[in-house]
Structures are given as C-alpha cells and as structure tokens.
C-alpha cells in the first residue's frame, strides 16, 4: 500500500537528478580508500596471528592485542563507509544496467567486512579484499578507465586493482 | 578473472555464518532511528521554507538558515547509516529471497537521502520517509511482527510504520 | 560574588526564550533512542555473561569479549547523550514545576550509565533501563501523550514505556 | 508504578559506588576546558559582530560568517559535554548536599549554551561564561582548592575563575 | 631548566624504538589519502567559483554554497590529519637526515591547508596540492619506490605523484 | 622539479597571511588541553600498573584493563591533535626564528605520544609530559606571558607549566 504510494510519487516527481551520471557537487570518488582499509585488515590479522602463535600473552601484549582488534574494527567500518558512499552517491541506473551484479557485490562486501571484524581469519580478510578489488574494477570500467593489477608497495604485499594512468 | 577467483574462494571457504540468520553479537535492530531521522528532515525543510517565505534575511536569520541546512545534512547521513547497518548486518539470503526488492529499496534510500540533502524540497523529504517506512514494514515482516501506521506524536505529524506491541 | 552578578544579569537580560516551551528550531525529541541504548547494554551484558560462564577464553573469544565491552561503553555514552539533549533543550520551568524529580532522575541516569559501563552487571543495566523508562513516562506526560508498557520486539525482551499512538 | 519498582530495586541493590567520592578510574576533572569553550564563544560572537557591522558581505565574507557560526555551534556542544561529564561522573550526594544549587546551575548552563548557539549575542555569551565560572568555583571548593579570578591571557580578555596553585 | 631534564631523561631512557624504522603495529602509510583530499579542495573551489560568477544567489544556491564551504573545511582537516599521521608515526631520524626539508614542508602544509580553508582561492589550493605532492615524492623515495606524475582520472584533472608499481 | 615549481609559485603568490602573527579568526590557543591529556596518560598508566601488580585478572578486571588502555589511546591522540593545532595554526616564522627547536620538539611529542600509546610505561608518559610542558613554556614566552611551575591540583600530582595571571 505504502509502496504503491511511493511508486506514484516517483512518477509525479520524476527527479531527473536520480538518473543523471553526476550530481553537483561532483565528488571525487576513488575506491583506493576502501582498498587500503581492506589491506590494513589483512595486515592486522597477520599481526594478531603473530600474537596467537605465542603460548601466553603478557599484559603488555594483551594491550597490543586489543589495540590491533580495535584497529581491525575501525578499518572494517571504513571499508563499509567508503564503499556505500560510492554505491549510494555515484552508482545509478546506467551503471546498474551495465553491471547487474553491483547490488549483490556491495551487499557481499558489507557481510564480509562484518566477518573480518568478528574473526581473526586471514582467508576472510583476503576474500574481502578480492570483493573490494572487484568493485574497483567495475568502478573504473564505468569511468572508461583501464585497470591493471599490481602488488601494493607495502606489507602485506597483496594484489590491488589500480587505474592505468597517463604519464 | 579476479571475480572467478572470488567465486572459487567462496566455494572453498564456504562460510556458514554468511548464510545464518543472526551473528553473535545479535545487535538490536530497530528502523525507528532511521524513521525519526527522515521525519526530522521533513521538519527542517518546513522550517527552511518559513525562512524562504521572507523577502530577505537578516544576518541572524542567515545564521539560523545555515544551522538548519547543517542539521538537514547530518540527518541525511544518519538515515543512510542506520539503514545500511540493518541492510549490511541483518539482511541475508532468507530475507532477500522473501523480499527481492530490498537491494533496490535500500539503494533508492541512499539516492533519496542525497536528494533531500541537496535540495530544500518537502516532496523529496516525503518520498524519503515513505521509502524508509517501506523498509520498516519489510523489516518487521521478516521478524514476523505485525505493523500498523500512525501519525507520529510530534511535528511534522507525518505517518510512520510502527510494530504492533503486546501490552 | 560572581553568582550575584549572574543573578543581576539574569534580571537585566530577562531572556524570554529560556522560559518558553519550545525553541525554534523545535527539534523532534523522542526518548526511544535512549531506551534502545539502555536495552542494548542489557543485551551486551547477557552476551558477556555467556563468555564469563566459560572456564577460559581463547584469543578469538577474548577479541569478542573486548568488542562487547567496547560496545557497552559506546551505548553508555549514547544513553547519557540522548537524555541530556532532551533535558538540556526541552525540559524547562513548566516541566520542572510539574515533575520536580526530573533533575535527580537525569542525574541518576548519568551515574547509572557509568555503573553499567564499569561493571558487567545485569542488575545495574536493568536499573538503568527503568530510570530511562521513568524519564520516557514523564516526557510523554508533559506532551499530554498517554503511554503503555510492552515487551520490546527483540532480545533482551524487556519492558519499555511506549507512547500510545492514534492509528 | 515503574518508579516504585526502581525505588525497591535501589534498596535491594544498594550500590555503594553511587555514593562514593571517586570511581576507579578516577578521571582527572578540570573545568578549564568548559571555561575555554565558553570564552571562545564570546570571541566568535565578537568576530561575528565585526561582520554584522559591514553594510553587506561578499561571498568570501559569507564563507567566513558560516565558519564562525559553525565554530560557535561546536563550542556550544563542547561546553555542554565538558560540564555534563563532571556533573554526571564526579558530582554525587556529598557535593549536592553541600551545593544544592548544582542541578539548577548545570541545567542553566545547558539552556544558556543553546541560547548562545542560536543567537549572535554578546550578553548571552557572557552570561554563559559566568555560569561556567560559578560551576568552576563550586567544583574547586568541593576539592578544597582555593580559587582566584584573573583576566585570561588572550582575547576576549574576560575574567575566569582559576585554582590557586602551589608553586 | 625543564628542557635539560628532558635531555637527561632521554639519555637515561634511551628508547630504541624512537630511532627504529618501523613500530609494531607497522601501519600501512600511503600519502594518496592526503593527495585526494587536497585535490578535492581544488574541485570544491572550482564549484564555489561557479557560484561566485552568478550575480546573486537564491536561498537554494546559498544552501549549496555553505555545503561546499563545509566540505572544503572537512577536507582541509583531512589533509592535515593524514600528513601529520605519516610525519608523526613514520618519519624518524633516518628520513629526516636524508630529507632535512621535511619539518618545514609538513609545517608549510599545515599553514597552506588553513589558507585554503579560509579563502576561496584556486591558487592557494593548487599550492597546497603541490606541497602534498612533494611530500608524497619524498615519502616514496624513503621507501625506495620510484614515482611518476600523471593526471588524476577525475576532475579537477590535476597532476599527482604516484608510486610506480610492478604489474 | 615539483619543488622548484612550488618555490616559484610561492614567490608569485606571496601570501601575506602566512607570515602574519594572527589569522582571523584568531582562535584562542591554550596548551593546557594538551597538558591535561598528557597528565591523564600518566594517571592511566598508574591505574594500569595497579592491575599489572595482581597475580591474575578476573574478567571484570580485564574489562577494566581494556577500558584503561582505550582511554590511554584516546588521550594520546588528543595530545597530538592539540599540539599540532597550535603548531600548525599559530606557530609561524617569527616564533620559529625565536625558538628554532620548535619543529623538533613538536615532532618529538608525536613520537613520544605513540610510545605512551604502545607501552605501559610511566617513564615514557613522564617524558611526554615534560616535552608538552616545554612546548607550553615556549608558547607563553612567544605571547610574552611569564610562566611558573606548580603541582597540578589532582592526581597524578605532577608538575605543570602555568601562565602567571594578573589577579
């Protein structure tokens, strides 16, 4: 019932902006922030696994442990935030028509971020990075910018999708 | 190529949690926060329209004007945040199967929030509220909680979807 | 000495707004946000008690433990924030005359929130919820909105004070 | 009804901590942060009044105008936050018995901060500072620290209550 | 006097970590976040200049104007924050010996960010970007990563310093 | 290459403001906020050491432990933030000429804050306080305000540098 009302309102209002490629202000979108956050989660999991390898933890190491878990939490929120900004502000009908997988991919990134926040699992963190990389790949394609993959120049030395830039 | 890799990983990892109904910690989800934020945007638009009706603004009124616009901005972000938390943490395969409109609805709420942030438009704000109400309706239905509609007990006295509670 | 000065200034300035029922912008106040935050603290205490029941915690469970404590901390701040906003913006002379207990009640909520933050105690969390419920009861009464009590439609299934709405 | 329940629970629980002078962690309370924030609001009002004195504002001056209003808003929130932390964490039965004016004073600071946020009024900002100074005076007295008043060593060169320190 | 004490303490403590190349946790530093924030400020200045070109602004355009100024403010803070994190956490004696200009450069970025926040000036924003680019150039050099310059793949299409990555 | 460009631009633009003593808005700078934050870190280390002295920790004490570490983290960020604001907004050529140690001192405070965040060390926290005190000493000297040292009127009862005020 309510939904019908929305449908009617949509017809009546017929916002042209919702279908446009770009709102003013045309924000500068770049998936690199989400990619770095996902990368950082892998790195934090690696450091947490170093602590897990020890037979027991001193109080100082426990303090370090909780700082790492807190940072993992923060970067999980950052992945979610950066991806939903691009999805909710930039992705519109044309991009969705071209890449119908986008809704599922973004939703999957939300769930995967929660996973990496809740567990100390390198595989979960790697899966998240790959989903974020896939998002970057699509994003640049919708901008008609070619991409390539390269190992990032810092630990944990994982592969990222980068835009090919004109020197 | 990357995407195939993810598909393979997904099979290998086969996280049971992603398909579960509820993560631990089972957060308490309630769409009322998003509904109040959407309602507040309508109220702020009403107050902005009162200022718009004046032939010119004193500096004091201009200060008030910018405080209202800033608050509208904040509540637009709050709508987005509250909805994506429920969508990204609670909504999983079972809910999506039951309500296939969910991805489009949530994405529509993102776009509508941006609209209300960018314009001083009562119609846009009303449309947003109705989408958020529809989200609340579905949310409670997935919880098997009956809903009803009622006028909220404060300005702007618009209709909200509420869960029917057992006294 | 200073205080006399203030008293004199008060007389001289004689702000009418301080005694008014409503500032412009008339924000939309609703104690439900504070109630949900108090409820969440009970839920988090329940989850913490599940961990306490185990003979020892793995590192993964310790990570979960600290995430729960951090969330309890956050929701304790939220209770305080939501209550002081209503108390500091909406509650004025007329409401205080009608409900002279309000200052003590709000101050008690501050102290109780700190308690729940500092201890893992279901009783402390329950006491906080009841104080917040009492605040809601008074708040709606000052608005001449009837209330009723009902069990909230999610864990921890505790009783909340709700406004009675017109369908 | 609910209230009776709380009263009973209070008796049953009988938290000793609520009546204690100091929780662990014994935070370091200092009203200077609230005093500086109140002082800053006066300074911002002075700068806003300089702009008000001009016949009209260029767009650059309008940008400056809104930056000043935003800062005034921020410092109003800071006054409220700093005062409620001390009131809600440190002020307990012994301090309230000694200074029964405390609840009214703190509540008055909330209302006064809102006033200074909503208007460009030097008198309102000065009144706020004096209330915050009175709070500082009482705070130090409960700590048995003597105070003195002095002009602060920066604009707007208003009088603050300071603790007398042992060289 | 105090300073001598510090000097003595430094000798006594002789923290090895302060001189090390890398603390654990070895955070992932990347100047791209600061570069994007500086770029965004240029873009926002461009959009503000479009509004400045109009003979007068409607209230809707004034709302847009203040949203742009607020965003410029936010990104100015972000530039400062991102640069001081790298400077304060990663830059230590070896990097300072190699690039003695670093303190002045970072301090200059702080001042330049404030400039861009305070004025609507494309030249100021461009100067800031170039200082941030210089910082990126040095940062990558200390990591022994070669850099190249390229036009960024979005408006305002300015030149950035990028690390050369291995495909 | 880039750097030369900046040098040229600097000449061309020749911002007078960068060399001025004071921007408008002339913010109210006071190092006391950074000093209180550094003091708080010492206090938190003292409370952490009390827990370290126990043979083992209950879960309730572990919760307290993590709250203390989190607070230490927060105050470490606050020290950095408060110092960089004064350094980046107020300290300009005249102050740097008079006190050439300023860049090194501020950079040292960044590194020392990180130390105190990473370790439970009273000596590290004390060193940080002394650097912050030295910064306060210089700050007040540039303002031509005499300073004195006194024991702060709360735990941990350490010595602070205070401005000498006119009664």
Report pLDDT for E55.
Answer: 94
Identify the residue with better confidence: A77 or C19. A77
Per-residue model confidence as pLDDT tens digits over E36-76: 999 999 999 999 999 999 999 999 999 999 999 999 999 99
Does D15 have pLDDT greater than 70?
A: no
- At residue F147 the predicted structure's pLDDT band, cuts being 50, 70 and 90, is very high
Determine contact: C47 vs chain F, CB below 8 A: no
Contact call for B66 and E67, based on CB within 8 A: no
Closest approach of chain F CAs to the CA of D127, in angstroms? 19
Helix A59-89 crosses helix B102-118 at what angle (to 10 degrees)?
80
Does F20 have pLDDT greater than 70?
A: no
What average pLDDT score do residues E155-160 get? 96
Give the span between the Cα atoms of E90 and E92, in whole angstroms. Answer: 6
Contact call for A51 and C66, based on CB within 8 A: no
Identify the residue with better confidence: D30 or B11. D30
Q: Is residue A22 part of a domain?
A: no
Share the mean pLDDT of chain A. 87
- At residue B25 the predicted structure's pLDDT band, cuts being 50, 70 and 90, is low
- At residue A167 the predicted structure's pLDDT band, cuts being 50, 70 and 90, is low
Does B54 have pLDDT greater than 90?
A: yes
Contacts of A among chains (3+ CB pairs under 8 A) = B, C, E, F
Determine contact: A36 vs chain E, CB below 8 A: yes
**Which residue of chain C comes nearest to B25, CA vs CA?**
C47
CATH label of the domain that carries residue D47? 1.20.120.400
What average pLDDT score do residues C93-101 get? 98
Chain centre to alpha carbon of residue D99? 17
Give the span between the Cα atoms of D62 and D54, in whole angstroms. Answer: 12
Sheet strands (E) in chain D: 147-151, 159-163
Determine contact: E57 vs chain B, CB below 8 A: no
Share the mean pLDDT of chain C. 87
> Is the C-alpha dihedral spanning D19, C73, F155, D139 positive or negative?
negative
Per-residue model confidence as pLDDT tens digits over C22-65: 343 557 999 999 999 999 999 999 999 999 999 999 999 999 99
- The 3 state secondary structure assigned to chain F is CHHHHHHHHHHHHCCHHHHCCCCCCCCCCCCHHHHHHHHHHHHHHHHHHHHHCCCCCCHHHHHHHHHHHHHHHHHHHHHHHHHHHHHHHCCCHHHHHHCCCHHHHHHHHHHHHHHHHHCCCHHHHHHHHHHHHHHHHHHHHHCCCCEEEEECCCCCCCEEEEECCCC
CB-based contact F130:E2 (threshold 8 Å): yes
Q: Which residues pair with C159 in a beta bridge?
A: C151
Q: Which candidate in F20, F73, F77, F84 is best for mutational testing of the E interface (most E CBs within 10 A)?
A: F84
Give the span between the Cα atoms of A129 and A120, in whole angstroms. Answer: 15
Phi, psi of C45 (to 5 degrees): -60, -40
End-to-end CA distance of chain C: 56
Rg (CA), chain F: 19
Determine contact: F52 vs chain A, CB below 8 A: yes
Check residue B20 and report its DSSP letter: S
- At residue B27 the predicted structure's pLDDT band, cuts being 50, 70 and 90, is confident
Does B149 have pLDDT greater than 50?
A: yes
Closest approach of chain B CAs to the CA of D129, in angstroms? 21
Report pLDDT for A166.
Answer: 72
How open is the CA angle B53-B56-B57, to the nearest 5 degrees?
95
What average pLDDT score do residues D97-111 get? 98
Query: How does DSSP assign B40-103, residue by residue?
Result: HHHHHHHHHHHHHTSSS--HHHHHHHHHHHHHHHHHHHHHHHHHHHHHHHT--HHHHHH-TTHH
Determine contact: C115 vs chain D, CB below 8 A: yes
Of D111, D5, B33, B153, the C-alpha closest to C140 is: B153
Of B126, B137, B103, B140, the C-alpha closest to B42 is: B126
Query: How does DSSP assign A10-41, residue by residue?
Result: HHHH--SGGGSS-PSS-----THHHHHHHHHH
Give the span between the Cα atoms of A38 and A36, in whole angstroms. Answer: 5
Contact call for D67 and E69, based on CB within 8 A: yes
Residues of chain C in contact with residue B143, where contact means CB-CB under 8 angstroms, are 153-154
- At residue D26 the predicted structure's pLDDT band, cuts being 50, 70 and 90, is low
Q: Is residue A3 part of a domain?
A: no
Q: Which residues pair with A160 in a beta bridge?
A: A150
CB-based contact F103:E103 (threshold 8 Å): yes
What average pLDDT score do residues A98-111 get? 98
Report pLDDT for E103.
Answer: 98
- At residue B26 the predicted structure's pLDDT band, cuts being 50, 70 and 90, is low
Contact call for E119 and D60, based on CB within 8 A: yes
CB-based contact C145:C163 (threshold 8 Å): yes
Give the span between the Cα atoms of D152 and C35, in whole angstroms. Answer: 42
Q: Which candidate in D44, D129, D165, D166 is best for mutational testing of the F interface (most F CBs within 10 A)?
A: D165
**For residue A115, is the peptide bond before it cis, meaning its omega torsion is within 30 degrees of 0?**
no
Determine contact: D70 vs chain B, CB below 8 A: yes
Q: Is residue F3 part of a domain?
A: no
Determine contact: E118 vs chain F, CB below 8 A: yes
Within chain A, what is the greatest distance between any pair of CA atoms?
67
Determine contact: D35 vs chain F, CB below 8 A: no
Does F18 have pLDDT greater than 90?
A: no
CA distances (Å), E149 to each of B53, E101, E103, F10, in order?
51, 21, 23, 21
CB-based contact D86:C114 (threshold 8 Å): no
Report pLDDT for D120.
Answer: 97
Own/partner pairs, A159-166, CB within 8 angstroms, 24+ separation: A159/A133, A160/A35, A160/A39, A160/A133, A160/A136, A161/A35, A161/A133, A161/A134, A161/A136, A161/A137, A161/B2, A162/E165, A163/E153, A165/E150, A165/E151, A165/E152, A165/E153, A165/E162, A166/E150, A166/E151
Q: Which residues pair with B163 in a beta bridge?
A: B147
Q: Is residue C102 part of a domain?
A: yes
Report pLDDT for A1.
Answer: 41
Nearest CB to F59; choose among C52, C70, C73: C52
Share the mean pLDDT of chain F. 87
Residue F120, sorted as left (phi over 0), alpha (psi -120 to 50) or beta, turns out to be beta
Nearest CB to D165; choose among F28, F40, F150: F150
Per-residue model confidence as pLDDT tens digits over F128-139: 999 999 999 999
Q: How many CB pairs under 8 A join E and F?
A: 95
Per-residue model confidence as pLDDT tens digits over F84-130: 999 999 999 999 999 999 999 999 999 999 999 999 999 999 999 99
CA distances (Å), B15 to each of A77, A116, B95, in order?
20, 12, 18
How open is the CA angle C123-C101-C145, to the nearest 5 degrees?
90
Identify the residue with better confidence: F1 or A72. A72
Q: Which domain holds residue D156?
A: 28-163
Q: With an 8 Å CB cutoff and a minimum of 3 pairs, decide whether chains E and C touch.
A: no
Give the span between the Cα atoms of C104 and C94, in whole angstroms. Answer: 16
Per-residue model confidence as pLDDT tens digits over A39-84: 999 999 999 999 999 999 999 999 999 999 999 999 999 999 999 9
Q: Which candidate in A67, A73, A115 is best for mutational testing of the C interface (most C CBs within 10 A)?
A: A73
Identify the residue with better confidence: E113 or F8. E113
Q: Is residue A13 part of a domain?
A: no
Give the span between the Cα atoms of E145 and D128, in whole angstroms. Answer: 55
Helix B59-89 crosses helix B32-52 at what angle (to 10 degrees)?
160
Question: pTM for the complete prediction?
Answer: 0.88
- At residue D25 the predicted structure's pLDDT band, cuts being 50, 70 and 90, is low
Per-residue model confidence as pLDDT tens digits over B81-117: 999 999 999 999 999 999 999 999 999 999 999 999 9
**Which D positions 84-103 lie with beta carbon below 8 A of chain E?**
none
Q: Is residue B1 part of a domain?
A: no
What average pLDDT score do residues D145-153 get? 96
Does C21 have pLDDT greater than 60?
A: no
**Which residue of chain E comes nearest to F131, CA vs CA?**
E6
Q: Is residue A131 part of a domain?
A: yes
Does E7 have pLDDT greater than 80?
A: no
Give the span between the Cα atoms of C160 and D2, in whole angstroms. Answer: 10
Report pLDDT for C61.
Answer: 95
How open is the CA angle E131-E133-E139, to the nearest 5 degrees?
105
- The three-class DSSP label of residue C118 is helix
Contacts of D among chains (3+ CB pairs under 8 A) = B, C, E, F
**For residue C11, is the peptide bond before it cis, meaning its omega torsion is within 30 degrees of 0?**
no
Q: Which candidate in C21, C53, C154, C163 is best for mutational testing of the B interface (most B CBs within 10 A)?
A: C154
Domain count, chain A: 1
Per-residue model confidence as pLDDT tens digits over F31-72: 999 999 999 999 999 999 999 999 999 999 999 999 999 999
- At residue B29 the predicted structure's pLDDT band, cuts being 50, 70 and 90, is very high
Q: Is residue E8 part of a domain?
A: no
Per-residue model confidence as pLDDT tens digits over A124-151: 999 999 999 999 999 999 999 999 999 9
Q: With an 8 Å CB cutoff and a minimum of 3 pairs, decide whether chains F and B touch.
A: no
Residue C144, sorted as left (phi over 0), alpha (psi -120 to 50) or beta, turns out to be left
What is the complex's ipTM, to 2 decimals? 0.85
Phi, psi of F100 (to 5 degrees): -65, -15
Give the span between the Cα atoms of A4 and C96, in whole angstroms. Answer: 46
């Amino acid at each position: 019932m309510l939904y019908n009302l929305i449908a009617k309102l949509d017809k009546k209002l017929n916002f042209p902006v919702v279908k446009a490629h770009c709102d003013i202000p045309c924000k500068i979108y770049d998936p690199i922030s989400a990619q770095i956050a996902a990368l950082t989660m892998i790195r934090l999991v690696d450091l947490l696994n170093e602590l897990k390898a020890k037979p027991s933890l001193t109080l100082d190491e426990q303090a370090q442990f909780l700082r790492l878990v807190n940072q993992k939490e923060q970067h999980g929120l950052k992945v979610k935030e950066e991806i939903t900004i691009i999805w909710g502000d930039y992705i519109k009908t044309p991009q969705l028509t071209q890449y119908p997988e986008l809704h599922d991919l973004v939703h999957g990134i939300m769930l995967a971020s929660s996973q990496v926040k809740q567990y100390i699992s390198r595989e979960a963190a790697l899966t998240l990075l790959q989903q974020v990389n896939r998002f970057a790949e699509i994003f640049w394609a919708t901008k008609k910018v070619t991409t390539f993959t390269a190992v990032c120049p810092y630990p944990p030395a994982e592969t990222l999708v980068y835009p090919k830039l004109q020197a």
